[in-house]
Amino acid sequence: MDDVTDLVSAAGYGDDFMVGRLLGKHRADRRDFVNQLNSAGCSALEQVILQGTSTPDLAATARLLVAAGADVEGPVGRTGMTPSELAGEAKMVDVMVLINRLREATPPSDPNAALHAAAATGDANEAVIALRHGADIAHRAENHQQALLTAVYADHLEVARLLLALGADPNADGGCKDTPWLVTGVTGSVPMALQILPYGPDLKKRNRYGGVSIIPASERGHVDYVRFAADAGVNVNHVNDLHWTALLEAVILGDGSQPYVDIVRILLEHGANPDIADKDGVTALQHAKKKGQTEVVKMLQGGKH
């Protein structure tokens, strides 16, 4: 299969990862490539709309194609209809709204600033407008953050999805050793982490305290994230600059309530070593006893919760 056929097919399935890879492969001629027709005379945007339902996946894929330069004005492909006409017939409201926003929008005087603003507010359509007018996904704002990191901090999934598919770097440092992947451990957002994971984040990357993402998640009581990160292969025995592991962090900074009990159990199930002590030689069990964390003590002693 050729790249155009692959693009149209991936778009029809709402596969932003594959669409993004193909767009990246044709970075030099992306605007031309995204508008090419497959052997059946269908464009990628037309294929998305022809699915006839406004599911989140398809709406996001349409947004990605438009951001990459898909034609939204002229008749395209085998239907001979404009994307707006086709979306109206298919009742794809999200696509109709996007196209109307494009038509009504005043070109931003500073596309990069507009992209950062869209990332902060979570307005994915505004992000599309900024990108169509030349915004650079790698541009850093005054706080040194790229737009992707801003979107991840605020847990704006649709903006992050768009930026990742267009090649935003999940390992880009925001100036304080924060990366999009590391920040998911702070926010505890499993949906955001799921968005980022296919794009190759460095799971060994360390934050300003020398920790990997599972450590702040354990501190903050993000049970689902700890389970997700451990399943994804994040090292549960990583020792940060304070000489704390995720297990020590959950006990020392936790309060022994149910979320922390669950986190300790998950960490132990994934191979956390309870014998790793802090810099003073105090183990998680000793800390738990001192803090009166009865259920945690029971688990660390080998009992069942």
* Structure confidence by residue, pLDDT tens digits, 179-224: 999 999 999 999 999 999 999 999 999 999 999 999 999 999 999 9
Give the Cα separation of 115 and 274 in Å (integer).
45
Residue 49 placed within a domain: yes
pLDDT at residue 237, rounded to an integer: 98
Of 50, 72, 104, the last residue of a domain is: 104
* Run of H or E including 263: helix 258-269
pLDDT above 80 (res 41): yes
Residue 178 placed within a domain: no
Give the pLDDT confidence of 256-279 residue by residue, as tens digits: 999 999 999 999 999 999 999 999
Residue 226 placed within a domain: yes
76: pLDDT confidence band, cut at 50, 70 and 90?
Answer: confident
Give the Cα separation of 158 and 233 in Å (integer).
25
Domains held by the chain: number: 2
Residue 24 placed within a domain: yes
Which of 77 and 65 is assigned the larger pLDDT? 65
Look at the block and give the residue holding tokens 């490539």. Answer: 33
Residue 233 placed within a domain: yes
CATH code: domain of residue 272: 1.25.40.20
Of 48, 79, 104, the last residue of a domain is: 104
pLDDT at residue 55, rounded to an integer: 66
Share of the chain above pLDDT 70, in %: 97
Residue 96 placed within a domain: yes
In Å, how far are 9, 86, 176 from 83, measured between CA atoms? 17, 5, 43
Residue numbers of the domain that contains 223 = 203-305
3-state secondary structure of 62: helix
Residue 137 placed within a domain: no
- Kindly state the average pLDDT of the residues 52-70: 85
pLDDT above 50 (res 85): yes
In Å, how far are 53, 56, 96, 274 from 92, measured between CA atoms? 6, 11, 6, 53
Residue 304 placed within a domain: yes
Closest CA to 211 of 178, 182, 240: 240
pLDDT at residue 304, rounded to an integer: 46
* Run of H or E including 6: helix 3-12
Give the Cα separation of 172 and 189 in Å (integer).
18
Lowest mean pLDDT among 134-143, 181-190, 215-224, 294-303: 294-303
* Alpha helices in the chain, H assignment, sequence order: 3-12, 16-25, 30-34, 44-50, 56-67, 83-90, 93-104, 111-121, 124-132, 147-153, 157-165, 180-187, 190-196, 214-220, 223-232, 246-252, 258-269, 284-291, 294-300
Compute the mean pLDDT over every residue in the chain, rounded to the nearest whole number.
93
pLDDT at residue 88, rounded to an integer: 85
Of 104, 134, 169, the last residue of a domain is: 104
Give the pLDDT confidence of 273-292 residue by residue, as tens digits: 999 999 999 999 999 999 99
